A = this chain, B = another copy of it.
């Protein structure tokens, strides 16, 4: 696969330079790889910091801004950022009210955010952590003990970000984040492998007539390979996997997410089938987001995340947000 890059070693640095040029409302430290709200620290507000390997854009840098993250730390492609980045981000955004680390469940991320928390606490920053482990496809996988963290991260960052913007103290923001993380379930499907800059070709082999159900966002193996399915069949299999894991007893937010290489035209069509499948199974969906939010480079495919909400969580979901990738309200 051809890539729009200079050299593999500079992909993340180049992207941060380009992000800085496009988003003057963000402060991008290209050398140290930290993306921060320009107006941070925000007085009296708990700060949210996330991060992880690059290659999942707009996650996390595209979610920095009022109502969501205060800072993001991108690692190399599919590689955890280092503790120094996270500790530096925490120091940059802490107003004195403390910092919540939003951590996707990959071993490197978990270890490095733990070390970063110690570093930050040594500097007098109060730190809380929430672990996102929403992918129902497999338990234990490449890079992960337990369940992988995927699309649910968006809901955790948005809803806990809204609680923080409203002035909730650290303990409350942490509790909200944990509630959201526990209320999220995701399942992904790959039609093709993705191409990492270092490798320059597909990271795994997926034959022309097959797809993989339960794929991870780094192309980690899923549950099974099957002959190619229709959009409707994929929606049924995905929704069944989600509901089998945890049947919601109330309304859900839905993220119908593209893995990067699937056209928006197809994603909207897939959403029609996801909504049909949920409707047939009696699940109410007050809000739906369709687009490429938690991606895997150029992989073709999709994932669905459901987040069960009560009125309070729904109100925080609807609260204003102003980031490069997610933006609504006043």
Chain A interfacial positions (CB closer than 8 Å to B): 1-7, 10-12, 14-19, 21-22, 54-55, 57-58, 62, 77, 191-192, 208, 211, 228, 230-232, 234, 256, 260-273, 275, 285, 288-290, 292, 295, 297-298, 300-302, 322, 327-328, 330
Q: Check A264–B2 contact: CB distance below 8 A.
A: no
The answer for the CA separation of A62 and B270 in the assembled complex, in Å, is: 16
Interfacial chain B residues near A262, Cβ < 8 Å: 4, 298
Provided the pairs A4-B301, A262-B4, A273-B14 are in contact, do residues A21 and B55 lie with their beta carbons within 8 angstroms? no
Q: Check A261–B264 contact: CB distance below 8 A.
A: no
Interface centre among A17, A234, A263, A328 (most CB of B within 10 A): A263
The answer for the CA separation of A262 and B12 in the assembled complex, in Å, is: 15
The answer for the CA separation of A322 and B231 in the assembled complex, in Å, is: 29
Q: Check A55–B265 contact: CB distance below 8 A.
A: yes
Q: Check A11–B58 contact: CB distance below 8 A.
A: no
Return A227 CB to nearest CB of chain B, in Å: 11
11 A-B pairs besides A18-B270, A22-B268, A330-B330 with CB distance below 8 A are A4-B262, A7-B230, A11-B266, A14-B268, A15-B268, A18-B267, A18-B268, A21-B275, A57-B263, A57-B265, A260-B263
Return A79 CB to nearest CB of chain B, in Å: 13
Q: Check A231–B266 contact: CB distance below 8 A.
A: no
The answer for the CA separation of A3 and B15 in the assembled complex, in Å, is: 28
Please name the residue on chain B nearest to A192 by beta carbon. Answer: B2
Provided the pairs A265-B11, A266-B5 are in contact, do residues A21 and B57 lie with their beta carbons within 8 angstroms? no
Q: Check A231–B4 contact: CB distance below 8 A.
A: yes
Q: Check A292–B264 contact: CB distance below 8 A.
A: yes
Q: Check B300–A263 contact: CB distance below 8 A.
A: no
Interfacial chain B residues near A260, Cβ < 8 Å: 261, 263-264
Return A152 CB to nearest CB of chain B, in Å: 19
Interfacial chain B residues near A22, Cβ < 8 Å: 256, 268, 271, 288-290
Return A206 CB to nearest CB of chain B, in Å: 9
Q: Check B298–A300 contact: CB distance below 8 A.
A: yes
Interfacial chain B residues near A15, Cβ < 8 Å: 265-266, 268-269, 272
Q: Check B327–A269 contact: CB distance below 8 A.
A: no
Interfacial chain B residues near A298, Cβ < 8 Å: 261-263, 300
Provided the pairs A14-B231, A271-B21, A328-B327 are in contact, do residues A266 and B2 lie with their beta carbons within 8 angstroms? no
Interfacial chain B residues near A265, Cβ < 8 Å: 11-12, 15, 54-55, 57, 77, 297
Interfacial chain B residues near A322, Cβ < 8 Å: 328
